[in-house]
Amino acid sequence: MAINIYDIHINPISKESFRCISLTDESYKMHWIVQPKGYVPLEHIHLNQDEIFHIQSGEIRIVVEGKEIIGRAGDTITVPKGAKHIAYNNSAEVLDAICEYRSALDMQKFEQVFLGLINDGYIDKKGSVIIPMMGYMLKKMKCRSMARPVSIPAPMFNVALIFFYVLGGIKGWEKLYKKYTGD
C-alpha cells in the first residue's frame, strides 16, 4: 500500500515529524514539527520551488546562502528556489511550523518515496535518507520537485542520478518505489 502523506511520519534521528495538510497545483503544505535539538540533516537546494516556513511556535534558525535567519511564532521565512539552506530548531521548545512548497509539482510522489525510506529505516547516522536510494527514486519518477544536497555539485549529481538508477535496478529498489507510491 502506498505511503499516505496525510499520516504523521517521524525521523527518529533528526527529530522531525512530517504530515501533509494541503496539496493543490499551486502548493504543497505540510505540518513540520521539530523537537528540541532537532534539525534538517543536510544542506540542500530546491531546484524548482520556493520553500516557505510559517512559524507557529518555537524558534527556527535557517542558514540561507551562509546568512543566518531566526524565525519566531508568527514569522514567515521564504527560501527562494536555487538557494542553499539548512534549518534547525533553535530553542529548547518544540518548533511547530507549516512548510509550504510553491508550486507543488510532484511533491506527493516525492514525499511518498522520501517518507517511505525514512519509515523503513533507510537513513544514515545523521538522519538523512540514503542518497543512492533517494537518487534512484528521483530518477525513476522523473522528479521535478527535486532537492539536491549541496555537498554534491550539480553536474556530478546529474551523473550520479544515472548511476543510482542503474544501481537501483540491479539491487531491486523498484519494489520499494512501488511499495511507496503504489505505481
Residue 155 grid coordinates: 553536474
Q: Return d(Cα 95, Cα 88) in angstroms, integer.
A: 9
Contact (CB, 8 A) for 76 and 54: yes
511556535: which residue's cell?
A: 57
CATH of domain 9-102: 2.60.120.10
Residue 175 grid coordinates: 519494489
Q: Return d(Cα 46, Cα 114) in angstroms, integer.
A: 14
Backbone angles phi, psi at 157, to 5 degrees: -65, -45
- Mean per-residue pLDDT over the chain, rounded: 96
pLDDT digits (tens, 9 = 90+) for 70-106: 999 999 999 999 999 999 999 999 999 999 999 999 9
How many Cβ atoms from other residues are within 10 Å of residue 43's Cβ? 13
Spans of all domains in the chain: 9-102, 107-181
- The pTM of the whole model exceeds 0.85: yes
pLDDT at site 1: 78
H helices present in 13-153, as ranges: 107-119, 131-140
pLDDT at site 107: 96
515529524: which residue's cell?
A: 17
pLDDT values of the chain reduced to their tens digit, one per residue, 183 residues = 799 999 999 999 999 999 999 999 999 999 999 999 999 999 999 999 999 999 999 999 999 999 999 999 999 999 999 999 999 999 999 999 999 999 999 999 999 999 999 999 999 999 999 999 999 999 999 999 999 999 999 999 999 999 999 999 999 999 999 999 999
